[in-house]
Structures are given as C-alpha cells and as structure tokens.
Amino acid sequence: MSGRRLLLLNGPNLNLLGTREPEVYGSATLADAERIARDAAAAAGFDLRALQSNHEGVLIDAIHAAREDCAGVIINPGGLTHTSVALRDALVGVSLPFAEVHVSDVYAREEFRHFSYLHDVAAVRVIGEGVQGYATAIAQLAALIP
C-alpha cells in the first residue's frame, strides 16, 4: 500500500517564501525548499510528491490520498498549525508518520504561534532551521520508516 514515496505539503502563504517577510523567513523560495526536500528524499531512497495550497481542504484531501502510495508526510502547515483540528485529524486518521516543519523559530515570535495542534502527534518536529529544515525533517522521518 505505501511505497517509497513521501508527501511534502506546504500550507497557506508558503507560496510567498522568498518575498514574504524575508527578515523572518529568509530569501529562499518555495522552489528552493522543494528542491532541498527532493534531494533529501532521494538521498534517503524516496520519491517526493510536493503540493502547496492556501486551502485547508486541498491539504486534507492530499493527506487522505497519501495513504494509498506514501510512506510518510512532511508538512509545513503555516498558519493552520495554530488553528486546524481538521488537519490534525486527517494526519492522525491516515496513520502515516509525519514531520512538522516550520521555517522560522515560532517560539521566538508572537505567543499565538507557540501552540501547534500537531506537536503531540508528529513523529518529527523541525523548527527554525530555514528551508534546510526540510532536509533535516526528511532525514529524521526516513529513519523511522522501515
């Protein structure tokens, strides 16, 4: 059922990486993040399917579909981190190990960003490493997948 493939999901506003608040998120783009993730996945023996959406339902549909052909999920949920029980339920519901990634150090930012609905169910959490955090998350997640 699950293959040697990982699903990379980037949530709302991550399409603006490289131009949105570069002092917080850096100058790397979403394309840079996806390239880093693809390279890390390949090094760990996985293919990578990547999707960015500003719509919660699109992300949830992708998570549901992942149970058919993916061994794990890497997700940067963006602002949905702090608001979406539905995203959490989808990730728990498909029973795939997943990594939660945040480009910025959420704990050095506004207090509302300190809470994550995913923190206690994520197999891996990588916070504040910039887009290189995607590679860290993939390496750690891949080590958990038989």
85 labelled binding-site residue: no
Q: Are 123 and 145 in contact (CB under 8 A)?
A: no
| 114 has catalytic annotation | no
Residue 144 in tokens: 């958990």
Q: Are 101 and 78 in contact (CB under 8 A)?
A: no
Residues 45, 22: Cα–Cα separation, whole Å: 32
15 labelled binding-site residue: no
103 labelled binding-site residue: yes
| 134 has catalytic annotation | no
124 labelled binding-site residue: no
User: Which residue among the candidates 25, 64, 117, 119 is catalytic per the annotation?
Assistant: 25
104 labelled binding-site residue: yes
User: Which residue among the candidates 102, 117, 119, 134 is catalytic per the annotation?
Assistant: 102
76 labelled binding-site residue: yes
In the annotated binding site, the residues are 76, 82, 89, 103-104, 113
The residues annotated as belonging to the active site are: 25, 102
In the annotated binding site for substrate, the residues are 76, 82, 89, 103-104, 113
